Structure 1
Amino acid sequence: MNRRSPMLEVVAGPLYVLIVAASLWVLLRGHNEPGGGFIGGLVAASASVLWAVARGTVAARRRLPLRSPQALAAAGVALALLSGLPAGWLGLPYLTHLWASLPGGVAVSTVLVFDLGVYLCVWGALAGYALALLALDEAPAADGEPAGGDR
């Protein structure tokens, strides 16, 4: 039988949001200082692990942006690969950094797209691995569904 802490269940919601927000901050901070997609993805994966410990692995999978760690990791790899294409269109080497300005003077770059891909890939891969390990400890429910769904 898998017992969960009622206290952890109560604080998991606000902590999850705070941890994901911190991971996004680390993702965006990494363009001028150390950090970025990899470390941000690690922090985001820790939010998924927290949710799995508090609410179960099924509930944690539902909280992922694409509801599947494999899909999230694959989308991240695809996004990172696609970030190199604009340079090729301009006759530059693959993954050459390009910058553009959005209306309002907001500067965006292919580096940000690449880092976002790394972020999603790391989050999906590590969350999938951790959730698979945590699911081993969950007893199946009477209806055959794994324990740990939303309550």
Structure 2
Amino acid sequence: MKTIIFRTASNYLLPLLLLFAVFILLRGHYLPGGGFVGGLIASIAFVIHSFANGLDKTKNILKFHPGFLMPVGLSLALMAGAAPWLLGLPFMTGLWFEEPTPVIGLVGSALFFDTGVFLVVIGVTLTIIFTISEGL
């Protein structure tokens, strides 16, 4: 049932949940959270929007098929894990920039790995949910 209250609330929840997902992603390499949980929250934001406004309107917001995020995220995570090899270090060794970034803090390879996981989780989750929704 698509009530006007649900549709209106979903339009406000989408940007708030996406912002919260990015917050969880960014705090994940210091505290609990990270790419997986942040990706699930971002996916939930789009699922709520599609339930309230219809799948077509949500797909118009995304502008591309969510499956595109899977290889992009996997490549980013793989590059973050393999970057230490260029310095003669073992795979997945943490590399950190010297100076902290004003909003994010200390940035390292863990953040890039988490961002890759974030994109893969969004891509997989939305592809599955959208495929199931199209069949209904």
The alignment's TM-score, normalised by the length of structure 1, stands at: 0.80
1:76 aligns with 73
AA matched with 1:88: W
1:110 maps onto 2:109 in alignment: yes
Q: Is the 8 A contact 2:101 2:107 kept in 1?
A: no
Structure 2: 5+ residue runs without aligned partners? none
Structure 1: 5+ residue runs without aligned partners? 138-151
Q: CA deviation at 1:36?
A: 0.5
Q: CA deviation at 1:102?
A: 5.4
Q: CA deviation at 1:127?
A: 1.1
1:62 maps onto 2:60 in alignment: yes
Q: CA deviation at 1:4?
A: 2.4
1:131 aligns with 130
Q: Is the 8 A contact 2:67 2:124 kept in 1?
A: yes
1:12 maps onto 2:17 in alignment: no
Percent identity of paired positions between Structure 1 and Structure 2: 34
Q: Structure 1, residues 108-137: CA drift from partner, whole Å, max 9, x if none?
A: 101000000000100110011111112222
Question: In 2, distance between residues paired with 1:102 and 1:135?
Answer: 47
1:141 aligns with none
Runs ≥4 in structure 1, deviation > 4 angstroms?
102-106
Q: Structure 1, residues 34-54: CA drift from partner, whole Å, max 9, x if none?
A: 110001111111011011111
The alignment's TM-score, normalised by the length of structure 2, stands at: 0.88
More helix by share: 2
1:27 aligns with 25
More strand by share: 1
Between the two proteins, the alignment pairs up a number of residues equal to 134
1:92 aligns with 89
Question: In 2, distance between residues paired with 1:89 and 1:10?
Answer: 50
Q: CA deviation at 1:32?
A: 1.6
Q: CA deviation at 1:71?
A: 0.2
RMSD between aligned residues: 1.9
